[in-house]
């Protein structure tokens, strides 16, 4: 795994750690409300679902970190693909294209670089 690919994979992993923190710990706090455009009442009602979603983002990050530690492009390929699919579905289901650019595009770039090497 070359340095640029490792940096891209690490960036995607860090994004998902950030998502984990936002969804699990700050969903009902001002930063979470602002980030996700939520009303306090809705955030309180949905915080268990958000925490579960955050946990899944943590699993994606863990898999990407594992791929870096093991220097294993097959593991990276799998987890980057999961990230891309999650970003596409998230953008589609929420009608928020920003999710695609924040989540899928960095993973797509890493996957493209991996395929070119």
| Sign, Cα dihedral of 84, 61, 6, 98 | positive
DSSP class of residue 117? -
The dihedrals phi and psi of 72, each to the nearest 5 degrees, come to -115, 110
* Average pLDDT taken over every residue of the chain: 96
* Average pLDDT of the residues in 61-90: 97
pLDDT at position 117 is 83
Distance in angstroms (rounded) separating the CA atoms of residues 18 and 14 = 6
Instruction: Give the residue carrying structure tokens 């589609």.
Output: 92
Q: Is the pLDDT of residue 1 over 90?
A: no
Model pTM greater than 0.95? no
């Amino acid at each position: 795994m070359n340095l640029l690919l490792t940096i891209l994979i690490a960036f995607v992993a860090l994004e998902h750690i950030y998502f984990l923190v936002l969804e699990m710990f700050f969903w009902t706090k001002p930063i979470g409300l602002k980030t996700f455009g939520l009303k306090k009442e809705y955030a309180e009602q949905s915080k268990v679902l958000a925490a579960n979603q955050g946990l899944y983002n943590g699993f994606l990050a863990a898999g990407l970190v594992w791929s870096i530690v093991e220097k294993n492009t097959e593991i990276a390929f799998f987890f980057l693909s999961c990230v891309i699919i999650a970003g596409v579905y998230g953008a589609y289901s929420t009608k928020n294209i920003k999710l695609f650019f924040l989540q899928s595009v960095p993973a797509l770039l890493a996957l493209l670089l991996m395929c070119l090497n």
